């Protein structure tokens, strides 16, 4: 079965600071024509930062779109021309103050592929050394330390609902980096 779709026309309908929205005319494999709304965003990274075998760094911050203070992995968007690992190192240092030379890629996820092209690259980092946190201007965050048991309990109790955080931790379990 052919699942591909052919773009016939793509129109930018919103140009924003962190995203653009397009309305595309497409032809699906049956020949039928339809429309697709697509949000285009810069790619991003998320970092599972383990201080030791049982302690993880998390970021607490208010997320305006959902009107909640969320607990998440350190994360951020990639700058133009920046490679995922460069972004991960930069974001970890900015948000937590920690640096390391011991990085492992955990692959990537698409955040909402039904309407958005954003890809988040996931990383595991260990052997952390503290320098100094330097959050971006306008970023009000708190770096917190939790035991892995606490974090997984908060996920179970629906207190952590951030998809990149849950996916990053799941990838660590699959890689054998986290033992439950």
Q: Work out the average pLDDT over 53-59.
A: 96
Q: Given this model, what pLDDT does residue 80 score? A: 93
Taking 80 as the threshold, does the pLDDT of residue 88 lie above it? yes
Domain borders along the chain are: 5-40, 44-175
* pTM, 2 dp: 0.94
**DSSP codes of every residue in 35-85:** EEEEEE---EEEEEEEEETTEEEEEEEEEGGGTEEEEE-SEEEPPTT--HH
Q: Given this model, what pLDDT does residue 137 score? A: 80
Q: Work out the average pLDDT over 111-140.
A: 93
Mean pLDDT of the chain: 96
Taking 80 as the threshold, does the pLDDT of residue 180 lie above it? no
Taking 90 as the threshold, does the pLDDT of residue 107 lie above it? yes
Is the CATH number 3.90.79.10 carried by domain 44-175? yes
pLDDT band at residue 60 under the 50/70/90 scheme: very high
Taking 80 as the threshold, does the pLDDT of residue 179 lie above it? yes
Q: Given this model, what pLDDT does residue 82 score? A: 97
Told to judge if 137 belongs to the known catalytic residues of this protein, a careful annotator would answer yes
Looking at the DSSP bridge assignments, the partners of residue 142 are 60
pLDDT tens-place string over residues 20-49: 999 999 999 999 999 999 999 999 999 999
Question: Which residue in the list 137, 142, 145, 175 is annotated as catalytic?
Answer: 137
Taking 90 as the threshold, does the pLDDT of residue 138 lie above it? no
Q: Given this model, what pLDDT does residue 139 score? A: 83
- The dihedral over CA atoms of 24, 28, 32, 33, expressed in degrees to the nearest 10, equals 10
Query: Rounded to an integer, what distance in angstroms lies between the CA atom of residue 13 and that of residue 70?
Result: 30
Q: Work out the average pLDDT over 136-151.
A: 92
Query: Rounded to an integer, what distance in angstroms lies between the CA atom of residue 107 and that of residue 118?
Result: 14
pLDDT band at residue 111 under the 50/70/90 scheme: very high
């Amino acid at each position: 079965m052919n699942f591909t779709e052919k773009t016939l026309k793509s129109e930018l309908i919103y140009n924003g600071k962190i995203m653009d929205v397009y309305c595309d005319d497409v032809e699906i494999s049956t020949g039928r024509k339809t429309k697709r709304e697509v949000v285009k965003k810069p790619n991003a990274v998320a970092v599972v930062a383990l201080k030791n075998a049982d302690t993880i760094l998390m970021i607490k911050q208010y997320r305006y779109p959902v009107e909640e203070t969320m607990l998440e992995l350190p994360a951020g968007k990639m700058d133009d021309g920046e490679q995922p690992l460069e972004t991960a190192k930069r974001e970890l240092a900015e948000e937590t103050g920690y640096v390391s030379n011991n990085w492992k890629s955990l692959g990537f996820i698409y955040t909402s592929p039904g309407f958005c092209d954003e890809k988040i690259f996931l990383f595991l980092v260990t052997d952390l050394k503290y320098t100094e946190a330097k959050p971006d201007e306008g970023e009000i965050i708190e770096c917190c330390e939790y035991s892995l048991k606490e974090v997984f309990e908060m996920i179970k109790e629906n207190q952590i609902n951030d998809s990149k955080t849950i996916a990053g931790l799941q990838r660590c379990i699959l890689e054998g980096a986290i033992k439950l």
